[in-house]
Structure 1
Amino acid sequence: MSEWILSLEGTQAGHDLALALAMLAALLHALFGALQKGRHDPWMARSAIDGCYALIAAPFALFVVPWPEPHMWLIFAGAMLIHAGYKYLQAMTYSRGAYTVVYPVVRGTGPLFAVLGAWVIFDERFNAGQWLGLATLLGGIFGLAAYNLRHVIVARETLVQALGLAVATGGFVALYTTYDAYGIRATHDPFTFLAWFFMLDGVFMPFIMRRELRALRWQEAVPLFKRGLLGAIVAFFSFGSILMATRLDKVGEAAVLRETSTVFAALIGWLVLGERVTKMQLGLMALIAAGAVIVEVMG
């Protein structure tokens, strides 16, 4: 399968597959965020998810895929540091703001930084139409932030702090998107990067939350483990899809298209988490999605 993936790089078929993978990542990433924000504490939920996907990835990394080339170890070290910062900020954000409030800001601020990073690192340049699409997306994001600051009642005392953390988390989203795209392109077999990434990345959160995890009662541990296992499966397809999309096609376009996840997030927050979503919020989220679509169509 690796050779088939490699044969698609730089082709129209590769572009089409990258488009489909980015859309799949959008849907699954919204679900992943809801799993972390659900009934369990975000720190504990993320620890369970990460621990599960590390355990599942380990046999594939150690016994199935080719071992990483020597230069990949330094790249993996950088990736772990970046993702550790991202997870810390994400958990802080979700613990201070409603999911439908902070999630769009996290996912929406990332594309601007990702596009700039792809320009500097991969020499990818947006045309005028794509910049218009990105401006549309950002207009929806900042309009949503302004609306929430004015109207949201739940946890209002921490809302401003949550939005600030969400912007910082979005910066880390862009950083890991660009860096991981560099990493998956630096090894011959993309599945080597994916397997080792998941195995190594899954260690951080369970380690820092080890005392809390050990203190869980059986009645608490079982549902948390089930959520972690489901989240791990979602993570494999969500993060794996976007990483493979950045290997096959342009990083900036894939990063922007993924942010249609805000629409899926609104539906999940409303239908699953029971959070109230107004028509104005839905309209602004649709504007975000429209901006991502314009970027793709004008590309």
Structure 2
Amino acid sequence: MSFLALTLIVISAFMHATWNYLAKRSEGGYAFVWLYMMITLVVFAPFVIGLLIFRNVQIGWLELGFMLGSALIHLAYSLLLQKGYKVGDFSLVYPVCRGTGPLIVTIAAVFIYDEKLTTTGVIGIALITGSIFVITGGMEAIRKANTFIPLLYGMLIGVMIASYTLLDKGAVSVAMMSPLMLIYGSIVAQAIILSLFVFRSFEDVRHEWRHHKKEAIGVGILNQFAYVLVLTAMTFTPVSYVAPVREMSILIGTIMGTRMLSEGFGPRRIVAAGTMVAGVIAVAVQ
């Protein structure tokens, strides 16, 4: 992996952990997701206009198909993430979903994009899997109802992460789409779909704006900017490298959850998150 790709991904990881922390502080739901998406559309509109003016951007049926597919998966991911943060600790749901996603991506990329997985990569996957088990508290935690449900949400969110990562990798590296155009088109589609639900109770949007304005603005900016950096790295780096390394955000997110949100089991989860980081690094250097 090149130094440029690594730099982009590390910066993205800090942004990603920060916006997830902000999302946890909100009340979540359709209203908050729609609100931060509208902020994204406004903030990134000048960049998209500039791209259309100064670059020869092609938008055909293939590109529209990628945008719609990405939108549907990202929308499912966003809503599941908000629900997961409602039913479970940030420092539990976040590491599980961010650890499960790259695990699936790394294996799937071998078959979809013909990427190679070495012995070092297999060791990394084992470290990731073991860390997820430790973070969730092992079999004792699984038997507890208040942990089992958040665990399931974390794993399902991880499946969504893997799905949009693999699809978007094809869009930017095979179809050669602009990362910014892919993301913006996806957000437009998501906002339209969500509007069908939000407008039935627009008072929820007003409530979120009054009480979680800063969080919505923060998520609206950092969420997509972080992903633009990741997609840019994907244009010249194998996805089986990018997906694991961006999970450096796991350690950052776990520390935020245990220290800033006063969530329990801090030391154990932080140690396990560190092991997970070691695992994703092993996968990245394969």
Counterpart for residue 271 of structure 2: 283
**Mean Cα displacement is larger for which, 275-284 or 133-142?**
275-284
Check 1:280–1:63 CA distance in 2 against 1; reply closer, same or farther (3 A cut): closer
**Deviation (angstroms), 1:221:** 2.3
Conserved? CA contact 2:102–2:244, under 8 Å: yes
Conserved? CA contact 1:36–1:42, under 8 Å: no
Check 1:90–1:149 CA distance in 2 against 1; reply closer, same or farther (3 A cut): farther
CA distance in 2: counterparts of 1:93 and 1:148, whole angstroms:
20
1:237-262 CA-partner distances (Å, limit 9, x unpaired): 21111111111201011101111211
**Deviation (angstroms), 1:16:** 1.9
CA distance in 1: counterparts of 2:187 and 2:164, whole angstroms:
14
Conserved? CA contact 1:259–1:289, under 8 Å: yes
Is 1:197 equivalent to 2:186 in the alignment? yes
1:27 to 14, 20, 34: 14
1:69 to 59, 63, 69: 59
Q: What are the residue-to-residue correspondences of 1:35-184 with 2, within 5 Å?
A: 35-62=22-49, 64-65=51-52, 66-70=56-60, 71-147=62-138, 150=141, 157-184=145-172
2:197 to 208, 211, 216: 208
Query: Tell me, which stretches of 5 or more residues in structure 2 are unaligned?
Result: none
Check 1:246–1:201 CA distance in 2 against 1; reply closer, same or farther (3 A cut): farther
One-letter amino acid of the structure 2 residue matched with residue 224 of structure 1: H
**Mean Cα displacement is larger for which, 222-231 or 195-204?**
195-204
Query: Tell me, which stretches of 5 or more residues in structure 1 are unaligned?
Result: 1-11
3-state SS in 2 of match to 1:64:
helix
Conserved? CA contact 1:53–1:202, under 8 Å: no
Check 1:151–1:279 CA distance in 2 against 1; reply closer, same or farther (3 A cut): farther
One-letter amino acid of the structure 2 residue matched with residue 255 of structure 1: A
One-letter amino acid of the structure 2 residue matched with residue 126 of structure 1: L
**Aligned pairs, number:** 281
Conserved? CA contact 1:83–1:176, under 8 Å: yes
Check 1:232–1:217 CA distance in 2 against 1; reply closer, same or farther (3 A cut): closer
Counterpart for residue 238 of structure 2: 250
CA distance in 2: counterparts of 1:182 and 1:216, whole angstroms:
34
CA distance in 1: counterparts of 2:192 and 2:262, whole angstroms:
32
**Deviation (angstroms), 1:173:** 0.4
1:94-127 CA-partner distances (Å, limit 9, x unpaired): 2211111111111111112101221122111111
Check 1:72–1:39 CA distance in 2 against 1; reply closer, same or farther (3 A cut): closer
CA distance in 2: counterparts of 1:118 and 1:216, whole angstroms:
39
CA distance in 2: counterparts of 1:193 and 1:157, whole angstroms:
39
One-letter amino acid of the structure 2 residue matched with residue 272 of structure 1: M
Is 1:261 equivalent to 2:252 in the alignment? no
**Deviation (angstroms), 1:64:** 3.4
CA distance in 2: counterparts of 1:296 and 1:86, whole angstroms:
24
Is 1:230 equivalent to 2:230 in the alignment? no
CA distance in 2: counterparts of 1:215 and 1:114, whole angstroms:
36
Check 1:187–1:105 CA distance in 2 against 1; reply closer, same or farther (3 A cut): same
RMSD, matched Cα: 2.5
Check 1:149–1:224 CA distance in 2 against 1; reply closer, same or farther (3 A cut): farther
3-state SS in 2 of match to 1:209:
helix
Counterpart for residue 7 of structure 1: none
CA distance in 1: counterparts of 2:216 and 2:192, whole angstroms:
14
One-letter amino acid of the structure 1 residue matched with residue 105 of structure 2: A
Conserved? CA contact 2:209–2:216, under 8 Å: no
One-letter amino acid of the structure 2 residue matched with residue 24 of structure 1: I
1:157-182 CA-partner distances (Å, limit 9, x unpaired): 44212211211110110010111111
One-letter amino acid of the structure 2 residue matched with residue 208 of structure 1: F
Sequence identity of aligned pairs in percent?
A: 24
CA distance in 1: counterparts of 2:9 and 2:19, whole angstroms:
15
**Deviation (angstroms), 1:264:** 0.3
